[in-house]
Chain A
Amino acid sequence: MSYEKITLENKDGIYYLGFGKYEEKSMTVLYKETLMELDTAFGEVASDKKAKGLILFSHKENCFLAGMDVSVIQGLSSESEAITGCEAGQTVFNKLEDLKVPTMALVDGICLGGGCEMILACDKIIASDNPKTAIGLPEVMLGVLPGFGGTYRLPKKVGLPNSLDMILTGKQVRSRKAKKIGLVEAVMPKERLLELANENLFKKFEKNKSMTETLTEKAADNFIARKVIFQKAREKVLETTKGFYPAPLKILDHLEGSAGKKRETYLSREAKAFAELTQTSQAKNLQHVFFLHDESKKLETETEFKKINRGAVVGAGTMGGGIAWLFAKNNQAPIMKDISVEGLELGLKQSSEVFSKAVKRKRMSKDDFNRAQRSISAQLDYNGFKNVDLVVEAIVENMNVKKAVLSEVEKEVASDCILTSNTSSLSVGEMAKSLEDSSRFAGLHFFNPVNKMPLVEIVRHDNVSDETINALYKWVLKTKKTPVVVNDCPGFLVNRILAPFLNEAAYLLQEGVSIKDIDSASLNFGMPMGACRLMDEVGLDVCSHVGEIMEEGLGARAKASDLSKLATDKDLLGKKSKSGFYTYDDKGKQLDVNPKMQALLPNKKKSMDETTIQMRLFLPMINEAANILDEKIVDSAGTVDLGLIFGIGFPPFRGGLLKYADAEGLDRIVDAINSFAESVDKDRYGLSSYLENLAKNKQKFYEASVQ
């Protein structure tokens, strides 16, 4: 038998089964063919009477097995197909579990999903001390559950609470933690895994559990305790998912209902649960988002570009400090320049707060905090600018000031240094005019707070070079953020689509719809925050300023409500002034609806049903997204959706704004927009001709703009 996905070697009766030898990608995944070969291989070992043992390992560094090929999961078109698929995998892993000889997995690098389920079927798992070694079951993030026996074997190995923690969140555990919870038998230097394999295969590993661990385990192991654990887990799941995601609940039902059942029954229940989940729209949408995100990590280019090793931020403060933090976190010893010590301290505080949180959560040692925070050179002059590869300008949003500063910075840096502006709304093309060499300039728009928001918009203009865009794209990826490349326009991609959402919310308020109704309508749609709450977060002064820019740039359809301006005049700035639509305490915790804001709104309240509010909020977004595609601001519907999911937390289970629109039916959407054009405002609901054409041709967003 020759193998094409795996390798199998018999050394004195001990079989060595290796992965990744023939995988060209950096990550080895499980294909259907791999499963078939595994089945053959396990059969070969089982039928060899002289076999003494089986050892699984990886030929590849830093990756054991990254799990099942997601496109296989996505391709499951019916429940019965999914069940068949599951059973095939389960059978193979059962075969591994049933081998008479000792079996052991040597895990170096990531081991996820199906990979994790496979090693669970081994007698022993030894993990390497490689910091990249991580084991997990991320299926829940794709809207499904582990279907190759993971839900059966993990609780047996690590106990119920630990399993729930891993299966419900999809979190990965590193070697030390894996040893602690009993997922692996031992942690050893990666260079010695194979060397010691023979010895370890026959060695007995004692679990040394602490008193508390034993007690917790004992306590969890009875009927009442299990009830309580599941009850608590359910509450927690509902709290975090607000019921939008079926997978975690299904996981809980399955684990609770199948507990104590025999392997065969348990596994068939697992397969059924998996199969049901594969057919939900949420799972399909989450997988769609997975592919969008995965695609964004690739940069195919022929052109050479500069590697960015060190950066500088001009303008400390919230954004500047956040960007400095990002540089520092990525070992890029940034320079942070401002015009006052107070400004610098504001930026330092921003960075320090994020790092301190990591220290508190024991994700970072105090020494590392000291090192990282001190790697930021906070200064008032341009010392060292000659030595940086990237400058991010993050000063006040004022075109003239920005132009002056950019032209000043250009004189201080090396000729190949990339210059960028973190503007959120000003024209990048206009700014480029201030520079002698604008081919090395682009917009680089981070979202607030930088540490939490994954999206970065890279904004092109007429003169920018591909080298510049590529270098920025690569750098953004390196910092583990998600880049999208957009063309210059007011608000770029994300804010341009967000603006009508917020603007429409303001109009609704002025029509008499209550703050609470609007926010709960947004939340019930799946948005992470209500529209009014979001305006508080952004700052009403900023909303007002952006509103003006949008109206100026886009004309009547972006006519801004005067509410944010009225509020700003009364010093109701949102969270930063502790007073906006809501009031806030000193720690920024939201308190109640703000009576001062109520005073600016009509006394007479208008009741509007939730669906209508949602349509009023989301239709203008879809319409504006159509305009954006029409103007070729971004290359595809997928980019729009990626931007909104990672930029404003548009609900991933909906697959993105345009995926949602496609599912709802564009003709229905066009009708609804047209009717609002009549009943509400003909400009704000002025139908995008791009959208109109799609509907006319019975096309979807995703069909019209293929990536």
Chain B
Amino acid sequence: MKPVYLCSGVRTPQVKSGTDTKDVDAPYLGHYLIRHLMDQTEIPSDQVDEVIVGNTGTPAKYPNIGRVIALEAGLHKQTSGYSVHRNCASGMEAVSQGFVKIASGRSDIIFAGGVENMSQMPLIYNEDMTEFFIQMMKAKTPADKLKVVSTFRFPHLTPVIAIEQGLTDPFCGLNMGATAEKLAREFGLSRLDQDEFANKSHAKAIAAMKAGKWNDEIVPLLAGKNLEKLITEDIGPRDNSTIERLGKLKPYFEKKTGTVTVGNACPITDGGSMWLMASEEAVKKYNLKPMARMVDFHFHGLEPERMGLGPVMAMDGVFKRSGLKLSDMDLVEINEAFAAQVMSCMQVAKEKKYADKWGIDVLGEINPDILNVNGGAIALGHPVGSTGSRLIVTIAHELKRRKQKYGVASLCIGGGQGGAVIVENLEL
């Protein structure tokens, strides 16, 4: 395998859905990041091999969003582009495909990342209404039409909420929140444990924001009805979060007996992230200064109803592939889909009985001091298509800041999978 360089990675501010970015079409959460990354270099626009973009709620207007982003970014028309979908890990899948292509010597310069505008996930006509439209189209004469019209009932107008359907596992029938409740029960995690975890996430994110840590990775996003407003910071982290406040929220998924609330789960969020990836030849040719090397990646499946444990399975796999261990890692990111889910992962990683149950090695204790050091999705949000690459952006920048070597970014994937990527900081 040839070495694969992560030259530079940036992201949009992550913005709570339904607010400032609700009018920003998904391609525009990615195209300007490519422009920005291109501007950091002097790579001619026709020298980019491919643009790979993760996206889950494919907008009807942009079926292949990767290609749209490549064109909107002003890259040469000959640069190909495509879109990938691995649910919550779509962005990570994009970067992983970039990795394979460069490592195998097929490609030299690739943009890989993810975008998601969850504000724009649609409401869909239900089956009855769809059938009604089909019959209307078939009806030729006014009499036929009248006949069809008479079949109309008001419940036909009840929409299917795409986002709700998307977040429900079609195989086990559980909503993602319900899978988190299941883990909370099985690993004995109390409501208070989860709220404390969530509260810390906000505190860490706010501290990072105040320290200006995001400035290197966030490129301000143009938004507003008339496109005249720049969003420069994440909109989501709360500087007034307290355990008491979190405690007042009602369980959302299991109303009577549950522990998972909207406060200790990640909010629905819009955002994008992008990496400029390059081969050794390209690095030399264009005098690039890569910030990191991508060591390897791994994806792993498990039972859908315990999808939250995916990160541990994936980390086990990527450690085996790379020959590195948890103890080699200076930083760990586990995406905070739910507090309960991350906390369960920490238990599974260190205990032999769990390791045996899922057929993995004991990874060891995940040191909370190096886990999600700048907060996680509970505060920053989880724009599904982007998070996988966003985690890599964030961990690479933090390694650089700390002048430390290795980090692993991992996340759970709806449908019962986990993904993990190891990066090596080159700016020690």
- Chain A residues in the interface with B (C-beta under 8 A): 333, 335, 341, 344-345, 348-349, 351-353, 356, 369-371, 373-379, 383-384, 386-387
A327 to chain B, nearest CB (A): 13
- B contact face: mostly helix, strand, loop, or mixed: mixed
* One of B222-230, B237-245, B303-311, B405-413 contacting the partner: B222-230
Which B residues, 3 to 17, have Cβ-Cβ distances below 8 Å to chain A?
Answer: none
B-to-A contact residues, CB < 8 Å: 25, 28, 31-32, 35-36, 38-40, 42, 72, 74, 220, 222, 226-230, 232
Complex A-B: 18 CB contacts under 8 Å: A333-B35, A335-B39, A345-B229, A348-B222, A351-B228, A352-B227, A370-B25, A370-B28, A371-B72, A373-B227, A374-B31, A374-B72, A377-B35, A378-B220, A378-B230, A383-B40, A386-B42, A387-B39
**Would you call A383 and B228 a contact (CB within 8 A)?**
no
Interface pair B232/A341, CB less than 8 Å apart: yes
- Are the C-beta atoms of B39 and A384 separated by less than 8 Å? yes
The 6 lowest CB-CB distance pairs between A and B, nearest first, are: A384-B39, A349-B228, A348-B228, A352-B228, A373-B227, A352-B226
Q: Are B42 and A348 in contact (CB under 8 A)?
A: no
Give the docked Cα–Cα distance between A383 and B38 (Å): 9
Is B226 in contact with A349, judged by CB distance below 8 angstroms?
yes
Q: Closest Cβ of chain B: how far from A342's Cβ, in Å?
A: 9
Expressed in whole angstroms, the minimum distance between the Cβ of B419 and any Cβ of chain A is: 31
- Flag if B230 contacts A374 (CB, 8 Å): no
> Residue among B31, B72, B227 with the most chain A CB within 10 A?
B227
Distance in Å: Cβ of B217 to nearest Cβ of chain A: 14
Bound together, the chains give a CA A333 to CA B227 distance in angstroms of: 15
Q: Which residues of B contact A352 (CB under 8 A)?
A: 226-228
Given A344-B230, A348-B227, A374-B72; 14 other pairs, CB 8 A cutoff: A348-B222, A348-B228, A348-B230, A356-B226, A370-B28, A371-B72, A373-B222, A373-B227, A374-B31, A378-B220, A378-B230, A379-B220, A383-B40, A384-B36
- In Å, the complex CA distance between A383 and B8 comes to 13
Is the beta-carbon distance between A378 and B222 smaller than 8 angstroms? yes
Query: Which chain A residues lie closer than 8 Å to B35 at the CB level?
Result: 333, 377, 384
Measured CB to CB, the nearest residue on chain A to B42 is A386
Query: How far is the CB of A628 from the nearest CB of chain B, in Å?
Result: 40
Contacts of B72 in A (CB 8 A): 371, 374
Given contacts A344-B230, A345-B228, is CB(A374)–CB(B222) below 8 Å? Answer: yes
A379 neighbours in B (Cβ, 8 Å): 220
Report which of A353, A375, A387 forms a contact with B42, defined as CB distance below 8 A: A387
Q: Residues of A contacting B39 with CB < 8 Å?
A: 335, 377, 383-384, 387
Separation of A254 and B226 alpha carbons in the complex (Å): 46
B36 surroundings in chain A (CB, below 8 A): 377, 383-384
Is the pair B230, A345 in contact by a Cβ cutoff of 8 Å? yes
A353: B residues at CB distance < 8 A: 226
> In the complex, A386 Cα to B36 Cα: how many Å?
12
Residues of B within 8 A of A335 (CB): 39
- Residues of chain A within 8 A (CB-CB) of B232 are 341
- Whether B230 contacts A341 by the Cβ 8 Å rule is yes
- Measured CB to CB, the closest approach of chain A to B349, in angstroms, equals 40
In the assembly, what is the distance between CA of A476 and CA of B38, in Å?
A: 27
A164 CB → nearest B CB, Å? 35
Q: Is the CB of A341 within 8 A of B25?
A: no
Shortest distance between the CB of A544 and any CB in chain B (Å): 30
- Residues of chain B lying within 8 A (CB to CB) of residue A386: 42
Alpha-carbon separation in the docked complex, A375 to B40 (Å): 16
Please name the residue on chain B nearest to A380 by beta carbon. B220
In the bound complex, how far is the Cα of B225 from the Cα of A349, in angstroms? 11
- Note all chain B residues with C-beta closer than 8 A to A376: 222
Taken together as a complex, chains A and B put the C-alpha atoms of A351 and B227 apart, in Å, by 9
Residue of B nearest to A359 (CB): B226
CB neighbours (8 Å) of B74 from chain A are 333, 375
- Complex CA gap A356/B28 in Å reads 18
> Which residues on the B side are within 8 Å of A378 (C-beta)?
220, 222, 230
Identify the closest chain A residue to B35 (Cβ): A377
> Given the complex of chains A and B, what is the CA–CA distance between A211 and B28 in angstroms?
42
Which residues on B sit within 8 Å (CB–CB) of A351? 228
Residues of A within 8 A of B25 (CB): 370
In the assembled complex, the Cα of A345 lies from the Cα of B229 at a distance in Å of 6
Nearest-CB distance from A638 to chain B (Å)?
40
In the assembled complex, the Cα of A341 lies from the Cα of B25 at a distance in Å of: 23
Task: Give the complex CA separation of A375 and B36 in angstroms.
Answer: 11
Roughly how many angstroms separate A383 CA and B215 CA in the complex, as a whole number?
A: 14
> Given that A383-B39, A384-B39 are contacting pairs, would A374 and B228 also be in contact in the complex, using a CB cutoff of 8 Å?
no
A224 to B79, CA, bound (A): 64
The minimal Cβ–Cβ distance linking B46 to chain A, given in whole angstroms, is: 14
* Bound: A124/B340 CA distance, A: 76
**Residues in chain B near residue A371, CB distance under 8 A:** 72
Chain B residues with Cβ below 8 Å from A333 are 35, 74
B32 — which chain A residues lie within 8 A by C-beta? 374, 377
What separation, in Å, do the CA atoms of A8 and B117 have in the docked complex?
A: 61
Report Cα–Cα, A352/B31, bound state, in Å. 19
Residues of A within 8 A of B229 (CB): 345, 348
Which residue of chain A is the closest to B25 with respect to CB atoms?
A: A370
Q: Which residues does chain B contribute within 8 Å of A370, judged by CB atoms?
A: 25, 28, 227
A contact residues around B31 at 8 Å (CB): 374
Least CB distance from B219 to A in Å reads 8
Residue of B nearest to A335 (CB): B39
Contacts of B227 in A (CB 8 A): 348, 352, 369-370, 373-374
- What residues on A are CB-neighbors of B226 within 8 Å? 349, 352-353, 356
Tell me, in angstroms, the Cα distance from A387 to B74 when the chains sit together: 13
- Chain B residue at minimum C-beta to C-beta distance from A369: B227
Residue of A nearest to B226 (CB): A352
Contacts of A374 in B (CB 8 A): 28, 31-32, 72, 222, 227
Smallest distance from the beta carbon of B130 to chain A beta carbons, Å?
28
Chain B residue with minimal CB distance to A388? B39
Instruction: Give Cα distance in the complex from A335 to B32, angstroms.
Output: 12
The CA of A356 and the CA of B224, in the complex, are separated in Å by 13
